[in-house]
Structure 1
Amino acid sequence: MMTKLERIAYESRLKQEQAEKDKEEARIKAKKEADERVPITINQNYEKALLEMKKLRPFLKSLRKLPTWDELQKEEGNNPA
């Protein structure tokens, strides 16, 4: 059985812990929002472009093997130039 004084101390401690927890959550949320508002830097754009190039690399290699439009026209004998 808790005395009235112990109960008040316990509730006070719970309120303090909850306040600290809320403050920490607010700090994390504010930091996340600040990170989202930061403009994208050139380095981030470069990294995104590198990832996209890695995804497209097999397709780009297959394009190199295909003849160009000019080569196709020369093969058919319809050279407009």
Structure 2
Amino acid sequence: MPAVDSTGAGDAMAAAVLASLWNDLDLAAATDLAQVMSLLAGAGVGAREMLPDQEQARQAWGLCYPTKMPELPRFTRPASPDGPTGV
């Protein structure tokens, strides 16, 4: 997956680490997930274009790692004109 724009990639990485550790994942899994989220954030233009849902995150995980992606609780994206959507 080529990088298009790095805007938001660091934020996505930090958020993934914090959310993972908050939900009791170990540090290795947290950093692996952070790399995947950073990869996805950099695949689109701007900070919000590539906010993935869980299926997109699983697909990206599969490109990077041979193991199953850790299960995470559902998070909610920031409100959009159509209302909040589950991730």
TM range (shorter): under 0.3
Output the TM-score relative to the length of structure 2: 0.23
Higher Cα radius of gyration: 1
Output the TM-score relative to the length of structure 1: 0.24
